[in-house]
Amino acid sequence: MAEDLSAAPPRPAPPKARDLLTRRLADIVCLPSSQIAPQERWMVADVLDELLRSADLELRVKVAKRLAQQHDAPRGLLRRLAHDQIEVAEPILRQSQALSDFDMMDIAQSGATPHKLEIARREQVSETVAAALCTSSDIEVMSVLLRNTGVRFANSTMDVIVRVAAEHDTIARLLIPRPELRPAQALALFWSVSHELRRTILDRFAASRKILQDAAEDVFPLAARETAPDAAVREALAYIDRRQRDRKAAEVTPFGSLEGLVERAAQIGFTEELRAEAAVLANVQRDLLNRMIDDFGGEPLAILAKATGLSREHLTAMIEGSGRMDAFNRVEQAVRVFDTMSVDKAQTVLRYWNWVIARAARAG
C-alpha cells in the first residue's frame, strides 16, 4: 500500500548558513573565561559582529539576550547591539554588567528616548550616567530615574533637576522625597511649587538651628569684642542668631514697631516706603521682602510673621496690606503654616532665603 504523504508533518527547513554560523559563534563568545582566551573571544566577536550587521531582527534579539547575561561579553559587540533597535538593545541596556559607564553615557547623549529609558531602569545607575541622562532635561527619563531607588545623583545633577522641577509638578513630586536633595535646593524650589508641595518641603527641610546655637553660644560675645570683625564669621553668626528683628531700627522707626508698620500697611497697602522700612525692621533683604509680599501664596508671609514674632492677627494684616487678600486662599494657607511651624524653624528658612539673596547681590 502506498504511503500517504499528505498526512505526514512537513519537515522543518534546514537552518540557513548565516543563522547556524551566528548561533555557533554566539556559543563561543559566551563561553566562560576558563574555556576561551581573550584573544580568541575578540576574534570570534569580530566575525560575529559582521554577521549581525545584516542579520534579521529575531536573530539579533536572540544574540543580544544571550550576551546580556555574560560578564565577559565583548565590549565592541555590546556597544553596537546597545545602539540597535530597542528590541535588540533592551536586554543589554537593562541588564548587561559588561556595559561600562562610558558606553551608557554615550547612549544617554546620542541615543533615542527608549534607549535612555532602559538605562534609567537599570538596577543600579551611577552618578555619572544619571548626569548624562539628565542633560537633555527629558521629563520622561527624569521621572523614571527619580522613581528608581538604585539611582545615585550628584549634587550638580540635582541642581539641573531642581530647575526642571520648578516648571513641572510631576518632577517636583518625585524629587522632594529623594535623599540626595539638599535643604538649599529644596528651599529654592519652594517658590515654584504648589501649596501642598510647599508644606512638604517645610516639613522635611525646615530644620532647627539649636545644634548651631549651642556650638556658637560663647562665640557671640567673643566676636562682639573684636576690633576687626571677620565678615565670614559675622555672616555665619547672623544665620545662627536667635534674634530676628533689628532692635536699633525699632527704636527709631516712625511706626513704633514692626506691628505698627503692619497695621498701617493693612490700611493703605504696602507702599514703597512701608516695604523699605519693613525690610529694615524685620532684618531681611528688600528683594526678599518684596518677593514674599508679591508671592502667589501666603506661606512666605507666614514664615516672616513667625520668625519675627508677629501674631496671627498681624499675619492677616500683612496679607491684607499686600492687596491680595483672597487670591489663592492666601490667608488659609498662611495660617496653616503659621500654626504648625516653630519660631526656630521659621527663622532657619527666612535666614536661608535672606542669605541667598545677599550672596547673589554681592556676586553681582
pLDDT digits (tens, 9 = 90+) for 255-273: 999 999 999 999 999 999 9
d(CA 321, CA 258): 13
Q: What are 197's three cell numbers?
A: 508641595
8 — pLDDT class (breaks 50, 70, 90): low
What's the pLDDT tens digit per position in 33-56? 777 777 777 777 777 777 788 788
What's the pLDDT tens digit per position in 265-312? 999 999 999 999 999 999 999 999 999 999 988 999 999 999 999 999
Smallest Cα–Cα separation from 182: which of 209, 208, 210, 201?
A: 201
- Number of other residues whose CB lies within 10 A of the CB of residue 92: 28
d(CA 250, CA 36): 84
179/211: higher pLDDT: 179
328 — pLDDT class (breaks 50, 70, 90): low
- CA quadruple 236, 237, 238, 240: dihedral, nearest 10: 90
Q: Are 72 and 78 in contact (CB under 8 A)?
A: no
1 — pLDDT class (breaks 50, 70, 90): very low
Express as a percent the part of the chain with pLDDT over 70. 93
Smallest Cα–Cα separation from 65: which of 120, 26, 19, 108?
A: 26
Flag the least confident range among 55-64, 79-88, 138-147, 326-335: 326-335
Backbone angles phi, psi at 127, to 5 degrees: -60, -40
Smallest Cα–Cα separation from 353: which of 198, 183, 163?
A: 183
How much is the pLDDT for 266? 95
Q: What are 194's three cell numbers?
A: 504648589
Q: What are 266's three cell numbers?
A: 493693612
How much is the pLDDT for 7? 55
Q: Is 96 exposed, middle or buried, given 0-12, 13-18 or 19+ CB atoms closer than 10 A?
A: buried
Look at residue 358 and tell me whether its pLDDT is greater than 80: no
d(CA 49, CA 22): 9
Q: Is 56 exposed, middle or buried, given 0-12, 13-18 or 19+ CB atoms closer than 10 A?
A: exposed
- Number of other residues whose CB lies within 10 A of the CB of residue 252: 7
125: which strand partners? 151
Tell me the mean pLDDT in the region 330-358.
Answer: 90
d(CA 93, CA 81): 9
- Exposure letters 340-350 (e unless 16+ CB within 10 A, then b): ebeebbbbbbb
